[in-house]
Amino acid sequence: MDVGRAPRRSAATRTAILDAARRRFAADGYQRATIRAIAADAGIDPSMVMRYYGSKNRLFAAAVDVDLRLPDLEAVVPERLGEVLIRHFLTWWEHPPGNETLLTLLRCAVTDPDSVAGLQQIFAEQVTPAVLRLGDPADAACRAGLVATQILGLALCRYVLRLPPVAALTPTQLITEIAPTIQRYLASTPSGCLPPTDEAVTA
């Protein structure tokens, strides 16, 4: 019986640590959050946190590890690309458990440079490959970056800064306003992504 209970206790402890870590990182930022505070929030000894995760850096990486499960954009009707993508991200931003993970990462990245790598990794490994399936691969990274300006800018203004005009909009209104811009980034080559012309180089 003891052997059978061990995995459940282990899983429950890991979950408690991660939940406490997300809340603490979101409230205090990466630098100020401590293993001792996270352990206290989880109701365990700090040594248990180190036993399961080894370091604060590894704990943070686990706390913000997220699979966005982006839709296959190749299977989407071309005219709805922007709508489908912003709707997908709003689902993550607005509902648990995705909002807890992404907002923790975003809040930490605003104040802690060490946390920026997490957001960069998500977009490099998940968003860019999705965009790479559309249009010219040569400008996919640029287009993905422009998509990120809309998605992360919206999240920052709506959920972190809580700007009243943005926070007051419904998800449907946000989709209506932002989808066309994302659509343009996904379905065409923005002029800024084009390689410089001979005239521009000469100038």
Domain 2-63 CATH (choose: 1.20.200.10, 1.10.3720.10, 3.40.50.360, 1.10.10.60): 1.10.10.60
Q: Where are the domains of the chain?
A: 2-63, 73-192
φ, ψ of residue 194 in degrees (nearest 5)? -75, 145
140-155 vs 81-94: helix crossing angle, rounded to 10: 40
| Residue closest to 187 by CA, chosen among 141, 148, 134 | 134
- CATH architecture, domain defined by 73-192: Orthogonal Bundle (1.10)
* pLDDT tens digits, one per residue of 95-128: 876 777 777 888 887 777 767 877 888 888 888 8
Which has the minimum average pLDDT: 90-94, 153-157, 182-186, 187-191?
A: 187-191
* pLDDT tens digits, one per residue of 52-103: 999 998 998 888 888 888 888 888 898 999 999 999 999 888 887 677 777 7
Question: What is this structure's pTM?
Answer: 0.75
Query: What's the length of the chain?
Result: 203
SS3 content of the chain, % helix, strand, coil (to 5): 80, 0, 20
